[in-house]
Chain A
Amino acid sequence: MDLTLSDEQRLLRESADRFVAETFTSDHRKKAANDPLGYSPDIWKQFAELGWLALPISEAHGGLGGGAIEIGLLMEAFGRGLVSEPFFSTVVIGAALVAECGTEAQRQAILPKVAEGALTLAFAHSERAARFDLAHVDTTATKTAAGWRLNGSKITVLDGAAAGQIIVSARVANANGASGKLALFLVPAGTAGLTLRDYARLGGGRGCSLDLKDVQLSADALLGDGQDALPAIETVVDRAMAALGAEAVGIMQTLLDTTLEYTKIRKQFGRPLSANQVIRHRLADVAMQVDEARSLALRAALMANAEPVARSRAASGAKAKIGRCARFVAEQAVQLHGAMGVTEELDIGAYFKRLLAFDTLFGGSAHHYRRHAALSGRAHA
């Protein structure tokens, strides 16, 4: 039992914190918000040089073999700076899906490119009718003579427009219709039949919806060798939720720090806001929730390789409660900044919106408490 950081981990955290503080300033963020790409390729190159893109990729595939703890350290730092580079979609999700599901040839073809910053990935899975149910996929994949044909619609494809390859989930159809098996396909950007509608995502970064109309793919577009992809999707999404939790902790910590400073400086009725007990107690509650969120994000990361039920319970529990904490911390940060908190003139709003986005991604608190209850054998939840 040891929850202290190793020397390497401490160095990683320090360098990430420093890089983020120097690079992701308020001005940078405002520029990025108007950038159609949503991030800076120069900075992406620096991420690669720092080894961050290689971090969780295995050494056999050009990576550094790091794990959920290292990802969490980076994500927390990214949260503090509201980083909008497609690290989460490319490395945390995309590369992980390839590593979990892909054939060795696919891993060799994709993972080293991700590690060196030459390829970005996106995951097109969510569908409107599915709400947050990972198993609900109506998009179909039909076997053809030449390979596969995909039809369907996806929503909330993070960083989809900038991705070199989009990993699309679909239900494999046979002669009688759907077979019940989920599969993942590597779809190169610009493939005929793809229609992307790109948008600036709430809280920073880009997202898109994706229509697939008779998208023709070669046989080797199928990720892996035909096994049901759902367990791998669940594994990767559970781990991704732990990573998002760490990012949320970074965002919350920044909101707490900023709000503390503000309440010390801002004077009303001849004294600082922080002299009022009602403010002090509110901030104590905010600090407590940030700490609880920190504990749960860490716990979910430490359980990332546990057996599936334990892993999913930890991930859903963390997502559910961190989401609730995030809403509270975000809303209190705005409240305690007064009217200024509701304007675009302060950064508070951007952090607020990123936490709102966090809470709903992959399912909000209510969904994940239900999933936790169901996984715990509280069957009727």
Chain B
Amino acid sequence: MDLTFSAEERAFEKEVRDYIAESLTPEMKRATALTPSVFSDPDIGMAWQRALHRKGWGAPGWPVDHGGPDWTPAQRWIFEAECARAGVPNVNVMGVKMVGPVIIGFGSPEQKNFYLPRILSGEDYWCQGYSEPGSGSDLSSLKTRAVRDGDDYIINGTKIWTTHAHHANRMFALVRTSDGERQQDGISFILIDMKTSGITTRPILTIGGDHEVNQVFFDDVRVPVANRVGEEGKGWTYGKYLLEFERGSGIASAKLREALKTISDLAGSEITGRAIEDPDIAIRMSELEVDIDALEMTELRVLSALQTGQNPGAVSSLIKLRVSEIRQAVTRLGVDVVGQDGLAVEPARPLYRLNHEPVIPEDLLPVVPEYLNSRAYTIFGGSSEIQRDIIAKMVLGL
């Protein structure tokens, strides 16, 4: 057992670090630091996606024949850790990490040939049509309906919490094509062109003041049957496969470590009146650092199991739960580090392109909105309560 990487892996780490250093622009880095929601605007994220694609790193998790880089789990770890350290933008994970793997796993050859290259190159920007106003954690109760009409489906209904629907040109959606015995039956997985007539999008502002999510309405939206992935009525299986990716794709500890470092740097700075000198702040900083150490080791244990071909088990729910809780605790500490300056709310967005001088130092701007927005971490992708249900059932066998 050891924690060190091999000489080849060290060389790879250097290659990643060097490539990031030469292709991550100061603008991308600043925009990422000043984005209090999960995703920067697409001009930032997609510029980074194109930079990764140029290097052949556009989709680290994909098989090599679809354009993946054929990395070992350790290489993926190193890549994610270096990206976190450098503060790179989030790319369109709905494309690369969500719909991509589903198309690879269950899509037709035509779908693979058409969609996958466009995800890699950043030509397509995807959003996820899962939740509905009446179907949150109980996702399979969804009601958006697709009725067959010749070679088309006609879709009616509404999706909500749709991240970047206002930017996306494509959506993957779970829709009801029939009513089965169980509510999980009769759901299909459909790819939708967002320019199709009958689709309207309503912005939803988060409590942090960001427009990241939307409600999307479908009014007799005509989608070719050829846009269905896999079999009709089997969408729940594909959707669950994707959720596993969403929960388990996490190499999250490196990002959390950077987020804590950002707060720690602020706490050591004159712009917070050196908040770190408050012993309570200093101790909480250490508590969180140790929480992240534990998470990192758990992630490395999973990685190590994957490397040796073992199944890490249902540990992804466990990780999702801790990641979301630690994320919230880090942002909460951030609010306490900023102190009263946190009251100076900056409503304009994006924070990296303000037309005026902000009232408080720029580095403080995203902290309170980040905390407010981070309340969503224990809700999306299966709420913490759902994760505990899953742990009780899958890990503990209750």
Nearest CB in chain A: distance from B147 CB, A: 37
**Complex contacts, A4 vs chain B, CB 8 Å:** 1, 304-305, 308, 310
**B283, A274: Cβ atoms under 8 Å?**
no
Q: Is residue B196 within 8 Å, beta carbon to beta carbon, of the partner chain?
A: no
Q: Is residue B396 within 8 Å, beta carbon to beta carbon, of the partner chain?
A: yes
Q: Is residue B16 within 8 Å, beta carbon to beta carbon, of the partner chain?
A: no
**A317, B297: Cβ atoms under 8 Å?**
no
Cβ-closest chain B residue relative to A69: B1
Nearest CB in chain B: distance from A289 CB, A: 10
Task: State in angstroms the CA–CA spacing of A317 and B276 once bound together.
Answer: 19
**B283, A295: Cβ atoms under 8 Å?**
no
**A280, B286: Cβ atoms under 8 Å?**
no
**B398, A274: Cβ atoms under 8 Å?**
yes
Q: Is residue A116 within 8 Å, beta carbon to beta carbon, of the partner chain?
A: no
**A287, B391: Cβ atoms under 8 Å?**
yes
Q: Is residue B265 within 8 Å, beta carbon to beta carbon, of the partner chain?
A: no
Residues 241-272 of A, flagged 1 when their CB comes within 8 A of B and 0 if not, give 00000000000000000001001100000000
Task: State in angstroms the CA–CA spacing of A35 and B304 once bound together.
Answer: 44
Task: State in angstroms the CA–CA spacing of A277 and B388 once bound together.
Answer: 9
**Complex contacts, B301 vs chain A, CB 8 Å:** 3, 295, 298
Nearest CB in chain B: distance from A91 CB, A: 20
Residues 262-305 of A, flagged 1 when their CB comes within 8 A of B and 0 if not, give 01100000000010010011011101100111011011001100
Q: What is the size, in residues, of chain A's interface with B at 8 Å between Cβ atoms?
A: 43
Dominant secondary structure of chain B at its interface with chain A: helix
Report if A284-B396 is in contact (Cβ < 8 Å); known contacts: A3-B304, A370-B283: yes
**B307, A380: Cβ atoms under 8 Å?**
no
Task: State in angstroms the CA–CA spacing of A330 and B306 once bound together.
Answer: 32
Q: Is residue A44 within 8 Å, beta carbon to beta carbon, of the partner chain?
A: no
Q: Is residue B376 within 8 Å, beta carbon to beta carbon, of the partner chain?
A: no
A321: contacting residue among B279, B291, B298, B310, CB under 8 A: B291
Residues 72-91 of B, flagged 1 when their CB comes within 8 A of A and 0 if not, give 00100100000000000000
A260: contacting residue among B6, B389, B396, CB under 8 A: B396
**B285, A373: Cβ atoms under 8 Å?**
yes
**Complex contacts, B4 vs chain A, CB 8 Å:** 1
A280: contacting residue among B291, B294, B388, CB under 8 A: B388
**Complex contacts, A372 vs chain B, CB 8 Å:** 286, 289-290
Task: State in angstroms the CA–CA spacing of A296 and B298 once bound together.
Answer: 9
B: contact size bracket: 35 or more
Task: State in angstroms the CA–CA spacing of A9 and B277 once bound together.
Answer: 45
Q: Is residue A340 within 8 Å, beta carbon to beta carbon, of the partner chain?
A: no
Task: State in angstroms the CA–CA spacing of A292 and B297 once bound together.
Answer: 8
B276: contacting residue among A302, A303, A378, CB under 8 A: A378
Task: State in angstroms the CA–CA spacing of A5 and B315 once bound together.
Answer: 19
**A288, B322: Cβ atoms under 8 Å?**
yes
**Complex contacts, A283 vs chain B, CB 8 Å:** 392, 396, 398
Task: State in angstroms the CA–CA spacing of A381 and B281 once bound together.
Answer: 9
Task: State in angstroms the CA–CA spacing of A379 and B274 once bound together.
Answer: 12
**Complex contacts, A39 vs chain B, CB 8 Å:** none
**A299, B297: Cβ atoms under 8 Å?**
yes
Q: Is residue B47 within 8 Å, beta carbon to beta carbon, of the partner chain?
A: no
Cβ-closest chain B residue relative to A275: B398
**Complex contacts, A370 vs chain B, CB 8 Å:** 283
A291: contacting residue among B291, B303, B308, B318, CB under 8 A: B318
Report if A288-B321 is in contact (Cβ < 8 Å); known contacts: A296-B297, A299-B293: yes
**A260, B391: Cβ atoms under 8 Å?**
no
Q: Is residue B138 within 8 Å, beta carbon to beta carbon, of the partner chain?
A: no
**A295, B286: Cβ atoms under 8 Å?**
no
B9, B294, B304, B318, most chain A CB atoms within 10 A: B294
Q: Is residue A195 within 8 Å, beta carbon to beta carbon, of the partner chain?
A: no
**B2, A287: Cβ atoms under 8 Å?**
no
Q: Is residue B282 within 8 Å, beta carbon to beta carbon, of the partner chain?
A: yes
Cβ-closest chain A residue relative to B390: A284
B322: contacting residue among A292, A303, A381, CB under 8 A: A292
Nearest CB in chain A: distance from B104 CB, A: 27
**B293, A380: Cβ atoms under 8 Å?**
no
Task: State in angstroms the CA–CA spacing of A293 and B301 once bound together.
Answer: 13
B interface list, Cβ under 8 A from A: 1-6, 9, 74, 77, 276-279, 282-283, 285-287, 289-291, 293-298, 300-301, 303-305, 307-308, 310, 315, 318, 321-322, 385, 387-389, 391-392, 395-398
Of all A-B residue pairs in the complex, the 5 with the closest CB atoms, nearest first, are: A295-B297, A378-B282, A280-B392, A3-B304, A317-B290
With A287-B396, A314-B293, A379-B282 already in contact, 15 other A-B pairs whose C-beta atoms are closer than 8 Å: A1-B303, A2-B307, A3-B1, A4-B305, A4-B310, A260-B396, A274-B392, A274-B398, A281-B389, A284-B392, A292-B295, A295-B301, A317-B286, A320-B286, A321-B294
A-B CB contact pairs (8 Å), 14 listed? A1-B2, A1-B74, A1-B304, A9-B1, A260-B398, A280-B398, A287-B391, A291-B318, A295-B297, A317-B286, A372-B289, A373-B279, A373-B283, A378-B285
